[in-house]
Amino acid sequence: MNGPHTPTSATPVPVQDAIDRIGFGRFQKRLLAVCGVTWAADAAEIFLIAFALPSIADDFALSTFESSLVVSAAFVGMLAGAWFWGAVADRIGRRRGFAITIGVFAVFGLLSAVAPNLWWLCAFRVLAGFGLGGAVPLDFSLFAEYLPTRNRGRWLVILESFWAVGTVVAAALAWLLVPTVGWRWLLATSALAGALVFWVRLRVPESPRYLAATGRVDEAHAILRMVARENGLDERAVPPIERPAAVSDRIAVRRLFEPLLRRTTVMLWTTWFFIALAYYGLFSWLPRILADRGLDVVSTYAYTLVLAVAQIPGYFTAAALVERWGRKRVFVVFLTVSAVCTFVYGAAEHSTVLLVAAVAMSFFTLGAWASLYAYTPELLPTAMRTTGMGAASGMARVAGVLAPLLGALLLPISLGLTLTAFAVAFALAALSVALLGPETRDIALEDAIGERRARAARRAPSHREAGPSAISAR
């Protein structure tokens, strides 16, 4: 959708109004490609270690528990990175924060490929995860803040679909490299992708929303004029940017539990934790699960590649539905189906049923993830968006630490019990959104907060009327 070509009045407007007038064009498509590479690198980093794990275990003579530590190490770093860098980026900016985090990821990802033993490998994985855990929420927040309201959810889902691209690439590389040149070359490919992302992202401008929220409205206006030019519009069509009310500079995770955000924060943290516990538990141990089903190494990689490819139509189906059904309904329906398919996958004995259940599980799980990533930034105000995204992503990293350990505990007991536990986790994530989540379709990024503030003001007695909130950037 393109905005008008005629100059407009000099009346200042909020940033979102200016972005809506500019519309979606060449600039956003280029930004989608750049952010998408980061998203693919995140998926590849997680799955490369899962695919490399059998070879690493052989080289270092690891027990099942020690193998789970290798998988959990990156999630420990991602947890710290998501919580640390989200708050930092709300202070120093999305662009600078992203450059630092992706640089950390690239350096320590490469060192992981030359680790001499288990403990050095775990240390490098923690540090690589520290960078990547910050890069992902920053990446998503930056893209969201350049999108017009119309079809925003669809484009956020399409960005998230690059995760499937990374998964497919990881499975294909594992199939090609591990049996021939070994796991070290496999890990090195992810670090090289990170270095490419670092170089490309240096050319991406800062978020105009962040600039406006910190009072730098002239810089925000200049960037939006540049975006208009790249989209083929008359830059004079971009109106001046409204100077927002004063925003508190105390960006802290505890502010997510202020009255207007408390319910949202509980819902997001619960949802992200349970969907990640099931997803990372399933896919971290996927080679082991497939081996227990009687597949050899080469067949395991081929089977995993099929499941990764099944994720791609799941994303695009979710992208089509989030603007029709809404984010909440897509997430709840898709994840409920994922829970059922995971249970069937654990109970199936016939190979055809096993394949259909696994493909459906992959399809619907990644569609649910996509809608969640579109949903989360729409529930948070600009001044707290990367902090909130980082904190929610941090809960997923907590689950990522626990999921391999849970798999290591349950798999020796029963494969069916393991998959049933993960199916229940999917169901709990769906229930959290069904009971606590509002719908955000066709609502501007700040309006969901504004509507909740208005409802709270109408409910509050006049003598207890609260002062202006500091969390809105409008």
Structure confidence at residue 431 as a pLDDT band (50, 70, 90): very high
Residue 430 pLDDT > 90: yes
pLDDT value at position 427?
Answer: 95
Please state the rounded mean pLDDT for residues 237-257: 66
Lowest mean pLDDT among 257-271, 290-304, 322-336, 348-362: 290-304
Residue 7 pLDDT > 60: no
**156-183 residue pLDDT tens:** 778 877 877 887 888 788 888 888 888 8
Length of the chain: 474
Do 446 and 16 meet the contact criterion of CB atoms below 8 Å apart? yes
Q: Which long-range contacts (CB under 8 A, 24 or more apart) does 53-59 make?
A: 53/287, 54/287, 54/288, 54/297, 55/178, 55/182, 55/183, 56/121, 56/183, 59/183
pLDDT value at position 6?
Answer: 44
Please state the rounded mean pLDDT for residues 393-401: 82
Share of the chain above pLDDT 70, in %: 83
Structure tokens at 268: 């997001």
Do 438 and 379 meet the contact criterion of CB atoms below 8 Å apart? yes
Phi, psi of 13, deg, nearest 5: -130, 160
Collapsing DSSP to helix, strand or coil, 349 comes out as: coil
User: Cα angle vertex 221, ends 474, 245, to 5°?
Assistant: 25
pLDDT value at position 444?
Answer: 57
pLDDT value at position 276?
Answer: 92
User: Cα angle vertex 35, ends 34, 41, to 5°?
Assistant: 100
Collapsing DSSP to helix, strand or coil, 51 comes out as: helix
Name the DSSP letter for residue 61: T
pLDDT value at position 275?
Answer: 94
Structure confidence at residue 278 as a pLDDT band (50, 70, 90): very high
Name the DSSP letter for residue 241: B
Phi, psi of 241, deg, nearest 5: -95, 135
Do 244 and 382 meet the contact criterion of CB atoms below 8 Å apart? no
Residue 409 pLDDT > 50: yes
CA 140 to each of CA 98, 109, 329, 468: distance values in angstroms, whole numbers, following the listed order:
11, 21, 21, 28
Do 372 and 239 meet the contact criterion of CB atoms below 8 Å apart? no
Structure confidence at residue 376 as a pLDDT band (50, 70, 90): confident
**18-36 residue pLDDT tens:** 888 888 889 999 888 888 8
Instruction: Please give the mean pLDDT across all residues of the chain.
Output: 78
Residue 2 pairs with which residues in a beta bridge? 23
Residue 190 pLDDT > 80: no
**130-145 residue pLDDT tens:** 887 777 777 777 888 8
Residue 23 pairs with which residues in a beta bridge? 2
Structure tokens at 343: 């249970």
Tell me the Cα Rg of the chain.
Answer: 22
Lowest mean pLDDT among 218-232, 259-273, 289-303, 333-347: 289-303
pLDDT value at position 293?
Answer: 64
- Mean pLDDT highest for which of 181-190, 263-272, 278-287? 263-272
pLDDT value at position 288?
Answer: 65
Residue 111 pLDDT > 50: yes
Distance CA 159, CA 40 (A): 10
Residue 13 pairs with which residues in a beta bridge? 241
**343-373 residue pLDDT tens:** 888 777 776 777 788 889 889 998 898 888 7
Distance CA 318, CA 324 (A): 10
User: Cα angle vertex 71, ends 66, 72, to 5°?
Assistant: 90
Query: At which residue do the structure tokens 């288990």 appear?
Result: 118
Structure tokens at 426: 């999917």
Intra-chain end-to-end CA distance of the chain, in Å: 24
Q: Which residue has the higher pLDDT, 260 or 123?
A: 123
Domains and CATH numbers, the chain: 15-450 (1.20.1250.20)
